[in-house]
Amino acid sequence: MSLLQVEDLEAGYGLLKAVRGISFSVEEGERIALVGANGAGKTTLLRCLAGAHQPSAGRVSFDGADVTSAPAYKRVASGVAMVPEGRRLFQALTVRENLQVAAENGRPGPWDVARVTEAFPMLEPLLDRRASTLSGGQQQAAAIARSLMTNPRLLLLDEVSLGLSPVAVQSVYDSLEGLDRSRATLILVEQDLTRALAFADRVLCMLEGRVVLEGAANSLTREQVTQAYFGLRQAAGGS
């Protein structure tokens, strides 16, 4: 049984349809890169999976349970966590306090302050600094660490590298690579196609609210993904 199952999902904002009949599944331990141009519907899809946006049709199942109507806090308790675009840390709190708030609202599990600072060593000397004083890369690392403190089985990451320097992006991805030993299941939105193809097991490319290309990352070429990304050809799958 798949950890996550999405069936015929539709969602939008008023008359604007942002997600149109999307279906896919995710296996435990899989890493999925969700790519597409701005406005393709990627963030809306993640928000539907996290319980932050209610779909207008379709079904979301997590670990065999229908969570389509479950609010975000119940999904966190069941093992779904999201790192939103822009990090959205509690700026007046220290890094340690941000982590503790997440732990208090999560579920039991192995992730604690010691373990997340092992995964993100850059955070250890910053634990008692306010989030507002951190660089962009440090804030991204803290935001991911905060989500891990809820002990998720599925981690959703929106725009991992947006606005970060190349050095900061590499540092964050190095830490994400280290999560493999925990069998973390990841869905990440990434604009850098080269990095997405290198990091992910599977790629989903969205265009105008639909998945127009899906396939194993090692079986897709950059040209195939780029064509689907810009709508130069419609493709239901890749091989």
Range of the domain at 188: 4-84+153-229
* 148 lies in some domain: no
166 part of a folded domain = yes
Q: What percent of the chain has pLDDT over 90?
A: 73
Assigned domain for 89 exists? no
DSSP string, 148-190: HTT--SEEEESSTTTT--HHHHHHHHHHHHGGGGGT-EEEEE-
Decide if pLDDT at 3 tops 90. yes
Instruction: Give the predicted TM-score (pTM) of the model.
Output: 0.89
CA distance 77 to 108: 9
Structure tokens of 174? 């190095």
Residue 68 has a CB neighbour count (10 Å cut-off) of 18
Give the tens place of pLDDT for each residue, 22-78.
999 999 999 999 999 999 999 999 999 999 999 999 999 999 999 999 999 999 999
Per residue in 63-118, pLDDT tens? 999 999 999 999 999 999 999 887 789 999 999 999 999 999 889 999 999 999 99
Domain-located, residue 207: yes
Number of domains present in the structure of the chain: 1
Q: What is the mean pLDDT of residues 195-208?
A: 94
Average confidence score pLDDT of the chain: 91
Q: What does each C-alpha distance from 157 to 87, 217, 234 come to in angstroms? A: 10, 18, 26
Q: Do the domain assignments include residue 184?
A: yes
Asked, for residue 122, whether it belongs to a domain, the answer is no
CATH number at residue 168: 3.40.50.300
- The verdict on residue 140 lying in a domain is no
| Predicted local confidence at residue 236, as pLDDT | 43
Read off the tokens for 85. 């675009």
Quick check: 239 pLDDT over 50? no
Q: Is residue 38 part of a domain?
A: yes
